[in-house]
Chains A and B, each alone.
Chain A
Amino acid sequence: MIESLFQIIEPAQLAFPEEMGGSVLAPYLFVSTAMFAIGLIGFLTRKNMIIMFLCTELMFQAAGLALIAFGRHHLGSDGQTFVIFVLCVAAAEAAMALALVVLLFRHRETLSASAWKELNG
């Protein structure tokens, strides 16, 4: 009984060279999409600028997960290479965004994004 249960839950994701079919890829893509949506909702709803930038990092993370899952599906390394690039962009973005947040905080003494709502282009 227990052994048959393990046979049900263990079959996919063997060693690397095994192929990964669409039915294994789909759950990863669903998690990636849901994570991206949570990041988007957070970016739209939160007023704290630091949290907003954290939410963009969450969206990067979701994109990275999708890249790696597709790379695994195609048995290639391109997905992982692009995740390295995503990491670089995330690091650069974090540095810029935090410098900007510190600058804006010095001007208004608040982290609220609505303190800058007159900035409508």
Chain B
Amino acid sequence: MEQIIDPIALYTICGLGAAGIALALPRREQDGARTLTIVGGLLLAASFGLAALLLGLKAGDSGEALPNFFFYPFAAIGLGAALRMITHNRPVYSALYFIMTIIASCGMYLLLSAEFMAFALVIIYAGAILITYLFVIMLATQAPTGEQDEMLDEVDAVAREPYLASAIGFVLVGLLTAAMFRGIGDLPAPGNGMTQAQAQNQVLENLPKKIDKELARQDLLPEGWRVMRDHETGKAVIDVDARTITLELIDGKDSHGDPNIVATRVLTSEEWPESLSANNLDRLGYNLLNDHPMMIEIAGIILLMAMLGATVLARKHVELEEDLKAAQARKLGTMFEPNEGGRA
């Protein structure tokens, strides 16, 4: 099996990256630290740049497609911010760099046409989770102001075993990429053999109400008409490949309680509205609710348990004397029952 990157080049890249990250990790030496960080960052950038170049050359040789041009800045920003996040010696800056990584990966999600997840990531990760982290960082640390690096807590200023950890990390990168790049040629053809239109609109026939709404918006649906439903499955009768939609005219119900179909007609492919297609949100929502309904329940339980656990863990014990407690209870009692309290 042909490799996407030559193994020797891959291990060189990993070695460079490991050396770079080991140099860039925070250390105590006062004067050399900043220079070392810059040198390490440059080494790491060189290794990733080399990887991008080799991947590009390989794809160029075999005439295969390359990722969109915007992939490269997003990847560079994402990896650079991730690197700065683990090497910065102030926690608040680390958290802010992590937000930058998140936003760069949102860009990559957009390139991978996962639009909903990209924006959900900005809202949930950058907007909610990271702000919680920032709150805790600001509550739990007293950061020195200005450039007083020597005042920094020993916790943040010194890395533990930087060389060993970098070696382990980049051995992992080497092994994983070698394994993945060797196997990528053996992957089944993209799209599971579906045609493009099938992949795009496989979902569409399961959403008859969406089709009704879209046709009505385009004034293609006269009064009483709707998309024909299959009697057994309830799916809409449409043909995505031929771009035809079958409509039915309903008039009350017959003796079995089924809709009484008076007339049918077929919308031809010229009449197929351009805006009628399953977008990312339709496909994702259908997949989530139809194929993985249990996941929502499990996620709900996990979140509930986490909320309970966090409340129990972070609760502060307040020690009160017995008579103080009784006084509090009396005060609360008068607060909530003002009339009776006033009479007593």
List residues of chain A with CB under 8 Å of any chain B CB: 8-13, 15-31, 33-42, 44-48, 50-51, 53-55, 57-58, 61, 64-65, 68-69, 71-81, 83-85, 87-96, 98-103, 105-106, 110-112, 114
Contact = CB atoms under 8 A, between A and B. Distances in A.
A82 to B, nearest CB: 8
A94 B114 CA distance: 24
Interface in B118-170: 120-121, 124-125, 128-129, 132-133, 136-137, 139-141, 153-156, 158-162, 164-166, 168-170
Given A22-B187, A112-B154, A35 B79 contact: yes
B173 interface: yes
Contacts of B129: 57, 90-91, 94
A45 B165 contact: yes
The 4 closest A-B pairs by CB, nearest first: A42-B86, A92-B306, A17-B196, A12-B65
A44 B160 contact: yes
Interface in B170-185: 170, 172-173, 176-177, 180-181, 184-185
Interface of B: 4, 17, 21, 25, 48, 51-52, 55, 58-60, 62, 64-69, 71, 75, 78-79, 82-83, 85-86, 91, 94-95, 98, 101-102, 105, 108-109, 111-114, 116-117, 120-121, 124-125, 128-129, 132-133, 136-137, 139-141, 153-156, 158-162, 164-166, 168-170, 172-173, 176-177, 180-181, 184-185, 187-192, 194, 196-197, 199-200, 280, 283-284, 286-288, 291-292, 295, 299, 302-303, 305-307, 309-311, 313-314, 316
Given A24-B67, A74-B190, A102-B140, 13 more contacts: A11-B65, A13-B71, A41-B168, A45-B159, A47-B155, A47-B159, A65-B108, A72-B113, A84-B288, A91-B128, A92-B303, A99-B314, A102-B314
Given A33-B177, A81-B295, A91-B129, A13 B111 contact: yes
A47 B160 contact: yes
Contacts of B67: 12-13, 24, 27-28
Given A38-B86, A58-B101, A21 B21 contact: no
Contacts of B133: 50, 53-54, 94, 98
Contacts of B316: 106
B64 A21 contact: yes
A91 B120 contact: no
Chain B interface mostly helix, strand, loop or mixed? helix
A37 B166 CA distance: 9
Contacts of A39: 82, 86
B330 to A, nearest CB: 31
A101 B138 CA distance: 13
Contact of A90 (B125, B170, B283): B125
B132 A88 contact: no
Given A46-B159, A85-B299, A16 B113 contact: yes
B136 A27 contact: no
Contacts of B191: 19, 74-75
A42 B159 CA distance: 9
29 contacts: A9-B69, A17-B199, A21-B64, A21-B190, A22-B4, A23-B59, A23-B64, A24-B66, A35-B101, A38-B83, A39-B82, A39-B86, A41-B25, A45-B25, A57-B98, A58-B98, A61-B101, A64-B117, A65-B109, A75-B199, A79-B114, A80-B284, A81-B288, A90-B125, A94-B133, A95-B306, A98-B136, A98-B314, A111-B153
